[in-house]
Structure 1
Amino acid sequence: MHTPATDDAKWNARALEEIVGNGAGRPVLFTNARVVTTDPLIGTMTGADVLVVGSVIVGVGPGIVTAAQDDNAIVVDCTGTSILPAVVDTVALAGGRGRRSRYVAPLVPGNAADLLIVPDACAPDVAGAVTTLLTRAERVRALIADGEPVLWAGADAPGRATAPAAGVPEAQDLTGDPRVGVWIDREDFLHQELTADGRYDETRGGRPHAYQGRYWIDGDRIDYLDDLGFWAFGEFRGDELHHAGYVMKLR
């Protein structure tokens, strides 16, 4: 639990109330900040705005605030602060990305609204801002994940998400789940049976029980923990299950 510094505790308190109660899905405009996009095309801007709709950044740059009233946006005055990506691409920062399209999570329109907002004095660069988050969270003005406040004015935001408990979870009861059954790849090489008790059993090239273990489904993602001890994953895409280069369908 984070406790805010006394001088910071009231930072945009009204705006936070509006964001938390934002049942109408109003845009949220973070305005008049130094915006460090980490994007090589856009760069860093002063006196700039970041417009968020739902979980997505839809605008970055100066002058967006002029449309705030027209759009019925919730306005967060960020004077004296820097807005940076909350998800930091250290490879890009080290110059290791050859193409802009491969940058991870810069503050550009179309990306997830993962924002870190700290006082300018705490953000000489991206590393300094992240250090503030990790060592002096009470100085953080806001930490936003997918458009939802996690920290605000140095304290935990109301209704914030919390991390799952560490460790291997309990088995899921998947009775009635339409994804339970035998998945077979296009070449009929891999047969992967998912059972309702959260176990899987693979036949490979006619070799039964090649791999066995536990699995968990979270949205469209499936995680596997093999009885040999290694982890793997797959993804449901429509009526297909993609796993380790195989594309399977339920038979």
Structure 2
Amino acid sequence: MQDTKLPIYWQRALVVAGIITIFPATTTAQTAPNIGDNAMAEHPYVGMWVTKDGLIRHELLPNNRYDEARGERKSAYQGRYQVTGNYIEYWDDTGFTADGEFIDGVLYHGGMVLYRNKE
């Protein structure tokens, strides 16, 4: 009998607005970054990222936490993140996971396009 188990990279996937996002088949505990330190303090991606219309504001904090505001709703989503090269993984405090990629100074995340806030 042939083994029909999917490769590890297909074991967890999310489809949002026609975009397939693949998540590693690992537990949060295995991949979670260290929390409580400022290991990312000097990282070039730390800071505020916003959509062109300014409705979504995504702040990457130096302690590997993020705080996302949507419209008038401050701290709509919070959690932790880990950057590996230009790839970013998120673990929301509610258990939701997501990822994104930095390309030419732009953050592509969950179907959104966010730009570095210059202020």
TM-score by length of structure 2 reads 0.68
Match of 1:170 among 11, 33, 44: 33
Give the superposition deviation at 1:169: 3.0
Alpha-carbon separation, structure 2, partners of 1:236 and 1:171: 21
Give the superposition deviation at 1:189: 1.1
Contact kept in structure 2, 1:171 and 1:216, CA below 8 Å = no
Q: Give, as a single letter, the amino acid of the residue that structure 2 aligns with 1:167.
A: Q
Match of 1:219 among 71, 78, 85: 85
Structure 2: gaps of 5 or more residues: 1-6, 8-28
Asked if 1:194 is matched to 2:60, the reply is: yes
Give the superposition deviation at 1:244: 1.0
C-alpha deviations, 1:36-84, integer Å up to 9, x for none? xxxxxxxxxxxxxxxxxxxxxxxxxxxxxxxxxxxxxxxxxxxxxxxxx
Asked if 1:206 is matched to 2:72, the reply is: yes
Give the superposition deviation at 1:230: 1.1
* 2:111 aligned partner: 245
* 2:15 aligned partner: none
Alpha-carbon separation, structure 2, partners of 1:246 and 1:240: 10
Alpha-carbon separation, structure 1, partners of 2:33 and 2:92: 15
Alpha-carbon separation, structure 2, partners of 1:225 and 1:245: 17
TM-score by length of structure 1 reads 0.33
Alpha-carbon separation, structure 2, partners of 1:170 and 1:250: 23
Alpha-carbon separation, structure 2, partners of 1:177 and 1:238: 16
SS of the counterpart of 1:167? Answer: helix
Higher normalized strand content (fraction of residues)? 2
Q: Give, as a single letter, the amino acid of the residue that structure 2 aligns with 1:218.
A: T
Alpha-carbon separation, structure 1, partners of 2:41 and 2:55: 27
Task: Output aligned runs, 1:123-162, within 5 Å.
Answer: none
Alpha-carbon separation, structure 1, partners of 2:32 and 2:54: 32
C-alpha deviations, 1:209-232, integer Å up to 9, x for none? 100000000111100000001110
CA RMSD of aligned residues (A): 1.6
Alpha-carbon separation, structure 1, partners of 2:97 and 2:32: 13
Q: Number of aligned pairs?
A: 87
Give the superposition deviation at 1:170: 3.3
Q: Give, as a single letter, the amino acid of the residue that structure 1 aligns with 2:88.
A: I
Q: Which has the higher contact order (CA 8 A, sep 6+)?
A: 2
Q: Give, as a single letter, the amino acid of the residue that structure 1 aligns with 2:31.
A: V
Contact kept in structure 2, 1:223 and 1:233, CA below 8 Å = yes
Alpha-carbon separation, structure 2, partners of 1:249 and 1:235: 12
Q: Give, as a single letter, the amino acid of the residue that structure 2 aligns with 1:204.
A: R
Alpha-carbon separation, structure 2, partners of 1:228 and 1:169: 14
Identity of aligned residues (%): 40
Contact kept in structure 2, 1:184 and 1:248, CA below 8 Å = yes
